[in-house]
Amino acid sequence: MSKKKVIIIVSAVLILVITIRTIYLNIAYKSKEPKEQTKITQETANTEIVTQNEEIEKTEEIKEWKWQKDSPENHNINPIILQNLHNTYDTTQIFSSVIVKDGYIIDEYYKEGYNETSKFILNSASKSITSSLIGIAIDKGYIENENVPISKYFPEIQSSNSEYAKQITIWHLLTHTSGINISDTENWDEWRNSENWVQYIFDAPVTSKPGTVFNYSTTNTHLLCAILQKATGMTAYEFGKKYLFDPIGMESVQCEKDAQGISDGGNGFIMNIYDMLKFGQLYLKDGVWEEEQIISNQWVNASTTLQFKRLSGSANYGYQWWVRTFGTQNYAAYFAQGHAGQYIFVIPNLELVIAFTSNHTGSSSMYWQFVNQIVSAYQE
């Protein structure tokens, strides 16, 4: 074979080998490519999932409820009147005052050393909190209704020589018409210093037929807390935390209790002014918070309308709420009132909630004047 033929044969073999190798590499690359693409796609999906989770967390943070603020002018309230009120507050023992209109905080006042996180004991404004808890207990079936005799929870009453005592119902406790002859003015220290508050109450005489005489006494509310504890197995505070405070974000709430561990729901709830306003706003919205019915509409209405007409005084009574009108147009209103000037005012027709914390020992008429001025600041 000639040298020329050998070169031609070798060259042909080399070309064939190169061609086969190129074909093999192409096939191998194509078979590998989908796996690489799948890997890239999965990594992208994982990244998207992480991003979506982060967005969900951000959305949940945004949805966390907090008070929104706006100017009084945007809600038809004259700011000059509010500023004049601030000047007046400076001369009083008021610690803080906050106004909510149409669901927005439109005015805030704090004396030096106080702010929206400062906690205050509500004193008798606590009674309105306890009323709401009784309503929730009825809504949820723990208590049948407000007309149940209290002897169901205190069977020892059945052996009492007093026929009046046997007639006392939850309604009578709610309206301070139980007939139990104990007064906050005359018996306060003796009752509060006793070893057993409930026993002290039952040792007192029942001197009027239940439902006939209004006698404002924190002992009535304390019996409501004792009944609530017997009916639910929880203190009023624990029950409130489960069904009221936590669901609407009243995070500052605390409550004192007696020696037997019964919540002092007639005098001992503690909270900041923002949580006072939340409670008022809940009632303004007929017991609904963020589309959830916390307290039944029926209970809210019954609690905040006239249940017993008093023979004297500037306000009447519902279920542990005071009832009266404000302003020249006599807007219907209701309010929680506590010793030394702890107040939650609700004026439904104006979508208005007003709270005060104070250390004022004078006449409560000062607050009527303030609320009247706030109402008069509304300009249709």
SS3 content of the chain, % helix, strand, coil (to 5): 50, 20, 35
**DSSP-assigned letter for residue 265:** T
- What is the pLDDT, as a whole number, of residue 125? 98
Give me the sheet containing 269-272, strands edge to edge: 119-121, 269-272, 254-255
- Residue-level pLDDT at 15: 52
At residue 163, the pLDDT reads 97
From the CB of residue 127, how many other CB atoms can be counted at a distance below 10 Å? Answer: 28
Per-domain boundaries in the chain: 1-57, 72-376
What DSSP assignment string belongs to 81-101?
Answer: HHHHHHHHHTTSSEEEEEEEE
Q: What is the distance between the alpha carbons of residues 361 and 139, in angstroms, rounded to a whole number? A: 37
CATH 3.40.1190.10 given to domain 72-376: no
Q: From residue 227, how far is each of 87, 160, 169, 203 by CA, in Å?
A: 45, 18, 11, 17
Residue by residue, pLDDT tens for the chain (380 residues) are: 544 444 455 455 455 544 555 444 444 444 444 443 334 344 444 544 444 555 444 434 435 799 999 999 999 999 999 999 999 999 999 999 999 999 999 999 999 999 999 999 999 999 999 999 999 999 999 999 999 999 999 999 999 999 999 999 999 999 999 999 999 999 999 999 999 999 999 999 999 999 999 999 999 999 999 999 999 999 999 999 999 999 999 999 999 999 999 999 999 999 999 999 999 999 999 999 999 999 999 999 999 999 999 988 889 999 999 999 999 999 999 999 999 999 999 999 999 999 999 999 899 999 999 999 999 999 88
Helix or strand holding residue 42 (H, E) = helix 3-63
Q: What is the pLDDT of residue 9?
A: 53
**Spatial separation of the C-alpha atoms in residues 181 and 204, rounded to whole Å:** 6
Residue 69 per-residue DSSP state = E
CA-CA-CA-CA dihedral for 216, 169, 161, 163, to nearest 10: 100
